[in-house]
Homo-oligomer: A and B are copies of this chain.
């Protein structure tokens, strides 16, 4: 089999059909022209026979439309992002767009490089989920983004005050919901395993947890706060530390850390929820865990994809609400990983 055949050009078709290349171009691009229908049909047949592909690289120079959108994401292996990618892809396809996906591997340099590469390949618009590096220091990237010639929408990892279209979840509210639920179940000694980022979901989930404690008059105790990095190992280590305190429950800020946390509980012979209560975040584990039904904060990935696509499609049609910012609210799904306690130290303030 010959895999490197020469590309068929308009000239080849013109030669075979016996008309000028310019006329072939008009016909294949369905432009108005004074050419007989018979001749038009012949040209299209020759093109089909020769498997002629309109060179979109050339065509996009003229029309500036590729019907292709791009999604830049931080990590293709992270199930949250791959699920989101699938949801976005479905919506793009249903609207006549192809979607291509590129991963930054959580590097700022790659964010910048990919933006340039994708722009130069003529994609019509971009869905952008920032790398952690870009999120921690977004100024440089914003300069880059302000020069983009196509519309883009920022998803999930965004900052307040950004002057661009964006959709994200309210992480602070998620943290609040998790901690409040534990408090309402009677827990007072509540741990939190969080990611220590400057601006991302980690910080905001912790802030929500603290707000709930404050509202119900429970002091925040340093010994109950453990840093993690959203990976399993850090959850395992945090569990080791928290099980040596008198905590009765913990809010673990993402599912990967919860997996590590659960492993430690399992190794030490703790039963859930009888011996220890947990609230997690993400709801990505429900098919995997046997014998543990996690109460968890849920972010609706379908809704995130839906709103992001809606925003970008609108902008591609030239609608001018360029700066629209949507913040979606997570919800709490109650299952069986929290037990009720009646030995709380009683209310210091607030009410339940």
A residues with CB within 8 A of B: 1-7, 51, 53-61, 66, 68, 70, 75-77, 79, 82-83, 85-86, 89-90, 93, 98-103, 105, 110, 113-114, 116-117, 119-122, 144-152, 163-164, 232, 259, 262-263, 266, 285, 287-292, 322-323
Bound-state CA distance A143–B98 (Å) is 22
- Are B93 and A86 neighbours in the complex by a CB distance under 8 Å? no
Option from B56, B110, B117, B262 in Cβ contact (under 8 Å) with A117: B56
A50: nearest chain-B partner, CB-CB: B147
Bound-state CA distance A262–B291 (Å) is 11
**CB-defined contacts of A66 to chain B, threshold 8 Å:** 121
**CB-defined contacts of A147 to chain B, threshold 8 Å:** 5, 51
Question: Knowing A75-B86, A86-B75, A102-B101 touch, does A121 contact B5 (C-beta < 8 A)?
Answer: no
Q: Copy number of this protein in the oligomer?
A: 2
Bound-state CA distance A122–B121 (Å) is 8
Bound-state CA distance A61–B163 (Å) is 36
* A111 CB to nearest chain B CB (Å): 12
**CB-defined contacts of A287 to chain B, threshold 8 Å:** 232, 259
**CB-defined contacts of A262 to chain B, threshold 8 Å:** 290
A70: nearest chain-B partner, CB-CB: B100
A323: nearest chain-B partner, CB-CB: B1
**CB-defined contacts of A145 to chain B, threshold 8 Å:** 3
**CB-defined contacts of A93 to chain B, threshold 8 Å:** 105, 110
Bound-state CA distance A117–B53 (Å) is 9
- Are B3 and A152 neighbours in the complex by a CB distance under 8 Å? yes
Supplied contacts A5-B148, A76-B85, A82-B82, 10 more A-B pairs, CB within 8 Å: A59-B120, A76-B82, A76-B86, A76-B101, A98-B102, A100-B100, A259-B288, A262-B290, A288-B288, A291-B291
